[in-house]
């Protein structure tokens, strides 16, 4: 079985790779990931990976978490992200909406880090964006 990463306030290369691997597997399972990003909780000082998909609304969050759990359990030799450190959301995610309202909403966002920003009315202590697929999010 794979080893779970321990999340701290420090963002690590292992977190980037584990997130990339999870998103790749979700894509392979047709999980319809439209946005994916790490977000530092400014109060708790811990990181959470947010996955945004329309399937969260249509299938329900429990089924989407199960999809992620099944992927984690089928992974043999890699570090994985604990379900405790993952948040799933439908496409009405407040952070996605804030980014879309800003000038960043017209940019291609992927593999970018945004630290200490107030964007679209929402403050981000720190954030690492894997994907924001505006074309799909606009549907």
Q: Please write the tens of the pLDDT for every residue from 18-50.
A: 999 999 999 999 999 999 999 998 788 889 999
Domain ranges in the chain are: 3-137
b/e code 97-125 from CB counts within 10 Å (16+ = b): bbbbebebbeeebeeeebeebebbeeebe
- What pLDDT score was predicted for residue 65? 97
Selection from 136, 123, 119, 113 nearest residue 16 by Cα: 113
- What pLDDT score was predicted for residue 39? 93
Q: Please write the tens of the pLDDT for every residue from 80-96.
A: 899 999 999 999 998 88
- How large is the average pLDDT for residues 103-123? 71
Record the pTM.
Answer: 0.85
Selection from 29, 83, 36 nearest residue 59 by Cα: 29
The number of CA neighbours under 13 Å toward the Cβ of 101 is 12
């Amino acid at each position: 079985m794979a080893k779970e990463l321990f999340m701290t306030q420090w963002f690590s290369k292992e977190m980037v790779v584990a997130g990339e691997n999870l998103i790749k597997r979700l894509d392979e399972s047709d999980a319809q990931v439209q946005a994916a990003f790490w977000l530092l909780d400014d109060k708790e000082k811990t990181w959470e990976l947010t996955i945004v998909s329309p399937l969260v609304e249509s299938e329900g969050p429990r089924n989407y978490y199960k999809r992620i759990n099944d992927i984690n359990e089928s992974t043999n030799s890699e570090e994985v992200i604990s379900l405790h450190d993952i948040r799933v959301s439908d496409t009405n995610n407040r952070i996605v909406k804030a980014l879309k309202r800003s000038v960043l909403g017209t940019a291609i966002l992927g593999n970018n880090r945004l630290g200490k920003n107030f964007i679209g009315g929402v403050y981000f202590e720190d954030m690492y964006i894997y994907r924001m697929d505006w074309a799909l999010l606009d549907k």
